[in-house]
Amino acid sequence: MTEMLKLRDLDNTAFNPFFEERFFFGENEDPYPLLASLRAQNGAMPGDYREIMGLGPDVTFPTGIPHFMILSYEEVTRALQAPQIFSNRAYTFNIGASFGRSISTMDPPEHGRFRRIFQKIFLPQYVKKWGDSIVDPVVNDLMDSFIGTGRADLIQQFTLHYPFGVIYRQLDLPPEEGKLFHKLAVTQTLVSFDFKHGSEANAKLGEYFPKLIEQRRRQPGDDLVSLLAQAEVDGEHLPEDVLVSFFRQLINAAGDTTYRGTSILLAKLLEHPDQLALLREDRSLLPNAIEEALRFDGPVIEQARWAAHDVQVAGVVIPANSIVHVVAGAANRDPAKFDDPDRFDIRRPNANRHVSFSAGPHICIGQHLARVEMMRAMTAILDRLPNLRLDPDMPPPAIRGAMMRVPHHLHVLFDPK
């Protein structure tokens, strides 16, 4: 008989991690004018991105080492594609503290060995079929809960929950523990500024996953845990610490970023009713609208790298052992790449050239899944919420953050079904 696995809650069961991250990611309303003025000075310069944005330091980084920022599209894409110079060692400090030996902390050739295995599962041919079997049911179940009322906070009642619901079903975990799982998945990432709760969530997820892997090896199903638990590299199972780190990262990366991306797209369309009307008239614009939202205000503004050697970028010398902030948010609004970059335009011809999923060997593994999820969620919204508009009696959406972005509320009205 299969042993029932139990995930343990935080000792302080009332702790609510959602939106705590604003202390770490910032509450900046619009970081783009500052980024534009810096990028206009030069494509790279000394400076700590967090400090420039008025945030406290990332306490997990070693102190006393130089920080640099890369800002232009040309230099950002070049840096992301040069892992031998711009190493992901920078993530051993913060992502490493949250997730352990994650592929985000690795460099070639180790990175490629493990990434190959994980990547296979998220190739377009696989994730496409999850659209019908997993994404649509999760999306529609959530919508059923408010569709009769004619009003909703689309963030709190919808976008915050649906991507986590999708990954949770893919892992085939018990539905009754979904809320607790989501809470611990978010809490584990707070380790850089709330060590107590962050490390407690880490420990509790850390004791759960090895037991789950062991159980699924004995009795495999067709879920992601079973698939990865049986996967092999060079004739051996994946090392347990790498596998556990991947699951920890997955429940977070998959749940958190797509929620942000969908929320920003919705906020932008509702703030620009002409663009929403265009989309309603011609649904074939939806894929490009998704790319444009990711470009215009991508959920992840900055990637960290570690200079493995002395290097010169846009004429600036970056010495070995510096932290390098590669600012995707600045590259995505570079006028040298995108015409009139501060305009949200769902018909922009080169919207998909953004670097919101990064570039190079660490480019987001989940990008195809994220696109399927955003397509399905937006299609359901356009189909099921006629006459969707901002609620004039409630505060308008306010996208916030300097590291990660999202609006915390999106109050809408629609014709109830």
The binding site for ligand HEM (CB under 6 A) comprises 88, 103-104, 115, 122, 249-250, 253-254, 257-258, 261, 298-300, 303, 356-358, 362, 364-366, 369-370
- Least Cβ distance, residue 105 to ligand HEM (angstroms): 8
**Closest residue to bound ligand HEM by CB:** 366
8 A C-beta contact, residue 402 and residue 53 = yes
Rg (CA), the chain: 21
Find the shortest distance in angstroms from Cβ 416 to ligand HEM. Answer: 30
Residue listed under structure tokens 């509320």:
409
- Considering the complex, what minimum distance in angstroms separates the CB of residue 3 from ligand HEM? 28
Give the DSSP letter string of 45-74.
Answer: EE--HHHHTTPPP-TTSPTT--EEEE-SHH
370: how many CB neighbours lie within 10 A of its CB? 25
Minimum CB distance to ligand HEM smaller for 103 or for 154: 103
Instruction: Give the count of alpha carbons within 13 A of 179, CB side only.
Output: 5
> What minimum distance in Å lies between the beta carbon of 64 and ligand HEM?
24
Nearer to ligand HEM, 146 or 262 (CB): 262
Q: How far is the CB of 34 from ligand HEM (least distance, A)?
A: 20
- Closest CB to ligand HEM among residues 202, 262: 262
Tell me how far, at minimum, the Cβ of 254 lies from ligand HEM, in Å: 3
d(CA 180, CA 164): 12
- Whichever of 270 and 300 has its CB closer to ligand HEM, that residue is 300
Residue 1 C-beta: closest distance to ligand HEM, Å: 32
Contact 305, 67 (CB under 8 A): no
Calculate helix-pair angle for 240-271, 273-281, nearest 10 degrees.
100
State which residue, 185 or 300, has the beta carbon closest to ligand HEM: 300
Taking the least distance from each CB to ligand HEM, the nearer of 91 and 414 is: 91
The nearer residue to ligand HEM, 190 or 294, going by C-beta atoms, is: 294
* Residue 66 contacts residue 33 (beta carbons within 8 Å): no
Closest separation between CB of residue 282 and ligand HEM, Å?
A: 23
Cβ distance 369 to 254 under 8 Å? yes
- Residue 257 or 288 having the CB closest to ligand HEM: 257
Q: How far is the CB of 317 from ligand HEM (least distance, A)?
A: 23
DSSP for 337-365 reads: TSSSTTS--TT-TTGGG--TT--GGGS-T
Nearer to ligand HEM (CB atom), residue 52 or residue 166: 166
Nearer to ligand HEM, 9 or 48 (CB): 48
Q: Residue 77 burial (CB < 10 Å; 0-12/13-18/19+)?
A: buried
Nearest to 355 by CA among 64, 11, 80, 14: 80
Structure tokens at 131: 């659209």
Q: Compute the least distance from the CB of residue 245 to ligand HEM, in Å.
A: 10
Residue with tokens 């663009």: 275
CA dihedral (285, 258, 47, 78) in degrees, to 10, reads -60
- What are the φ/ψ torsions at residue 261 (nearest 5 degrees)? -60, -45
d(CA 151, CA 12) in angstroms, rounded, equals 33
